[in-house]
Each structure stands twice: as C-alpha cells, then as structure tokens.
Amino acid sequence: VEATASTGGQLMPPIMGAAAFVMVEITGASYLSIITAALLPALFYYLSIGAMVHFEAGRVNQQRSARASWPEMRRALVRLPPFLVPVAVLLFSMIYGYSPILAGFYAFLALVVVTTVRKETRLDLSGWIDALVFGAKNAALIAVACATAGLVVGVIEVLGVGLKFASAIFSVSNGVFFVTLLLVMIGSIILGMGLPTTAAYVIVAAIAAPPLVNFGMSPVAAHLFVLYYACLSAITPPVAIAAYAAAGIAGCDPIRAALHATKLGSAGFIIPFAFAYYPGLLLQGSWGDIAGAILVGTMVIFGLAIAIIGWFTRPMSLAWRAAFGLASLMMLYVTPWTTVVGVIAFGALITGVYLSRPKEGEAQKESVPVFEGTEK
C-alpha cells in the first residue's frame, strides 16, 4: 500500500514532483492547464487504491480502528494547515506565470516564515545548516539524474532513435490506436525502470510521447500518458524500486511486495487508456462529457476493485468477480452501446449483491461456531 500510494504522489496535482515543471518547458503548456488535466486521473488512482484497501480489509475481516485514535488524527490535522502555505505559494506563483525556479524560491521563503513563527518547528542555527546540507544533497542527486537523462536524450536525438521508435510503433500497430497505446505503455515502463521520476519522464517524453502526438493526441494528454507509466514502473516487477524500498522497511519479500503493489495499482495502468479515449477525464470538452466521464470512471474503478479483490459486503465467487470485471471492461470500451450495457450490467450486479445478502439473523447464526457436545 505504501509503495503504491507513494508512487501516485508524482501524479497528484498541484506539485506532481518536478516532472510537472519539466512538462511545462517541454510542451509549452501552462502550469495551470497541466495540473487541471492531471487532477481527475490522479483522484481516480487514489480512489481505486482506497477501494481496494477497503475491500481487502473486509475480505480478511479487519476490524475498524478504535475511536480512541481519533484525537491524535485531529491533532495532526490541526497542525497541517501552516505547512500548506508554502504549497499554496508555489502553486499560485506557477499559475501567475513565474518560472519554476522563482516559484520554488518564493515557496522556500514562505516555508522559512512558517517554521519560524511556530515555536515547535522553529530551527536554530545548527538546524538550518543541517537542512541546507540535506537539501543540497538531494538537489545534487536530482541534478545528476537529470543531467544523465539529458545526455541520453541528446544521444537519442543525434542517432535518430526517437524517429526509429516512432516508425517501429506505427509499423507494428498498423495504425491501430489501441495497439499504439499498448506499445507506448510497454516502452514507457521499460524506459522508466530504475530511474527517478524526473529523469524517467525526460527520457519517455523524448522517445515515447511523439508517436502519440503524431497520432492526434494533445501534447498534454500524450505527455501525461507516458508520465503515468514512467512512474508506475516503480512498482512494476521485476525492477519495482519503490516496492523494494518498502519491502526493506517491512522486512518482507520484495517480489511479493511488488506483485501486491501492482495489484493495488492496477487501475493506474488503465486510467491513461481511459483519458486517451475520454478527454472528459482531463477536464476537456463539454460539461456533459466531463460529468459522464466522472460517472463512468467511478463505476469502473469500483467494478475493477470488486473483481480483483473478490469482496463486496461479502466474499464474491469467481462468477461474480468475472461479471463485475466484464461489466467494467464494457464500460471502458469506446462505443456508446457497450458503455450503456456496461452501466446497466454494473447496476444490476450491485442490486443483485444487495438482494442476495443473507438476512441479519441468518448471518449471525452462521457466524456462531457450533461444537460437539454443546447444548442448543
């Protein structure tokens, strides 16, 4: 769960790591248009993780957390707002057209003010020195990764690998849009494996995004498509560096952690295909298109979560799981009649699950174990 959720942080506006700032420079689009387009797909990604975690908790009969822990949560939420000030400064600076460097500088100044005003977060001289050293080390790592990625991109341009990659995709896909998306997805995952997000994005933006733009996708949509799979390579076996890091903390098998992370993040592998066919997910088009995309997308997320985890108010049989999965895939298909049939099938399945639930008395009777020799 940790590896999957942390990977999605690179896809969630308004920050999106450093990749969004690089995307502004490469695509020429405004920062506001990029974070607006990325908002709904990122929310769907986390909605799918939340649904799968909830259904998995129900499947293993995990008890809810005690109310005694709620005061700690409230105290944490009370302490949170001041630290949102630098984020807000960074966001509005980028929206108003400042460069990423200048916006980051203003956000840093806001962070200094916030930490100085509050007594519990105020730093002394040694604290500031440690913070600056820590920041310089992290900046150096990012700079080296981006410089290396820049060299790779330069070699690619000189050798014409990007054009060869695009022509190879078109020849293999034979002009079929879905096959093109599938090949670009595979290429982006392979190119992004083992790299930091920004470096991975720089490489896939130079190699994998141009074929999609040439196919007619908007530059923002094409670059978000390849960014998703460059990020998801962090939880995709066999490399899965995020899953390996999480497994090191948890003390578990890294391959099993990667497989579970891939299962929990499975919707993330489908969302880019969805917004490639439904621009409403990128908040593009009419209000009707956007509302329809949100409604269908929500049902698809829950349908896939039920099919993958196998639980919804009660354990699901293989037939129920297959039915939910089929209905979700039908809603994803681009022809209107399959979408309508998928929506109707999903509604019928949800209704069937609720109508077929055992009554409260029967459920309680079944849950009480009966031992030999026990009096009735």
Given pLDDT bands bounded at 50, 70 and 90, which one contains residue 75? confident
- Please check whether residue 5 is in contact with residue 267, taking contact to mean a CB–CB distance below 8 angstroms: no
Mean pLDDT of the chain: 85
What percent of the chain stands above pLDDT 70?
Answer: 93
Tell me, what's the pLDDT at 376? 39
Q: Is the pLDDT of residue 371 over 80?
A: no
CA 171 to chain centre: 31
Given pLDDT bands bounded at 50, 70 and 90, which one contains residue 335? confident
Tell me, what's the pLDDT at 152? 78
pLDDT (tens digit, 9 = 90+) per residue, 117-160?
877 778 888 888 998 899 898 888 778 877 877 787 788 778 77
| Predicted TM-score of the model (pTM) | 0.82
pLDDT (tens digit, 9 = 90+) per residue, 15-64?
887 788 888 888 888 888 999 999 999 999 999 999 999 999 988 887 77
Tell me, what's the pLDDT at 375? 44
